[in-house]
C-alpha cells in the first residue's frame, strides 16, 4: 500500500513538473519585450529562420522577399546602427493596446569600435497571437 502511494506521488510530481516546464517554453512570446529579446537572441546566434517568426509579415510584403533572406541581408549591411552591431539590449518598459504595442529598450551598440548606449522604442503588432516587429531594409525598426 505504501509503495503504491509513493509510486502515485512520484508520477503526480513528474506530471506536474512536465506541465510547468511546458508552460515555461522560451520560444513563445507573451509580451512585446519578450518578443524583442527572443528576436535579438536569434539574430545574435545567426539563426535567421527562427528570428523570422518575430518579424511582421508586412516586412516580407514590403520588400518582396522571405523573412530569413531579408534578415540575412540586413545583418550583413554596412549600416552602423543596424541590429547586427548591437552588443546588448534591455527592455525598460512596455505599452500594450490590444493588438499594438511599444517596447522601450536600452540598446548598446559598437558601430565603429566605440560603445554607445541609447533608448529606442520598438513598435509591434500582434499577428497570429504573437508579437512581431516591423523592420526596414537597413535593419532599423520602424518607429
pLDDT in tens, 116-136: 899 988 888 899 888 998 776
**Which pTM does this prediction carry?**
0.69
Q: What average pLDDT does the structure give for the chain?
A: 76
- 141 pLDDT band, cuts 50/70/90, is low
Selected residue with higher pLDDT from 84 and 10 = 84
What are the C-alpha distances in Å from 136 to residues 61, 63, 70, 129, 140?
12, 8, 9, 22, 5
Selected residue with higher pLDDT from 118 and 83 = 118
Q: How far apart are CA 96 and CA 111, in angstroms?
A: 31
Question: Where are the alpha helices (H) located in 26-118, listed in sequence order?
Answer: 32-45, 48-51, 57-63, 67-75
pLDDT at residue 26, rounded to an integer: 41
Q: Is residue 137 predicted with pLDDT exceeding 90?
A: no
Which domains occur in the chain, in start order? 28-133 (3.10.450.50)
Residues 6+ apart with CB under 8 A from 96: 31, 32
Q: How far apart are CA 40 and CA 108, in angstroms?
A: 12
Instruction: Over range 29-36, report the average pLDDT.
Output: 88
Amino acid at each position: 500500500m505504501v509503495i503504491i502511494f509513493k509510486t502515485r506521488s512520484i508520477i503526480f510530481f513528474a506530471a506536474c513538473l512536465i506541465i510547468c516546464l511546458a508552460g515555461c517554453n522560451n520560444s513563445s512570446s507573451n509580451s512585446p519585450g519578450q518578443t524583442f529579446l527572443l528576436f535579438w537572441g536569434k539574430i545574435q546566434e545567426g539563426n535567421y529562420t527562427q528570428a523570422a517568426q518575430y518579424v511582421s509579415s508586412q516586412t516580407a510584403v514590403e520588400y518582396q522577399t522571405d523573412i530569413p533572406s531579408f534578415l540575412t541581408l540586413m545583418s550583413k549591411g554596412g549600416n552602423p546602427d543596424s541590429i547586427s552591431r548591437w552588443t546588448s539590449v534591455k527592455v525598460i518598459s512596455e505599452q500594450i493596446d490590444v493588438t499594438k504595442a511599444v517596447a522601450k529598450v536600452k540598446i548598446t551598440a559598437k558601430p565603429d569600435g566605440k560603445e554607445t548606449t541609447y533608448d529606442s522604442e520598438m513598435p509591434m503588432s500582434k499577428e497570429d497571437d504573437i508579437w512581431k516587429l516591423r523592420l526596414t531594409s537597413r535593419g532599423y525598426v520602424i518607429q
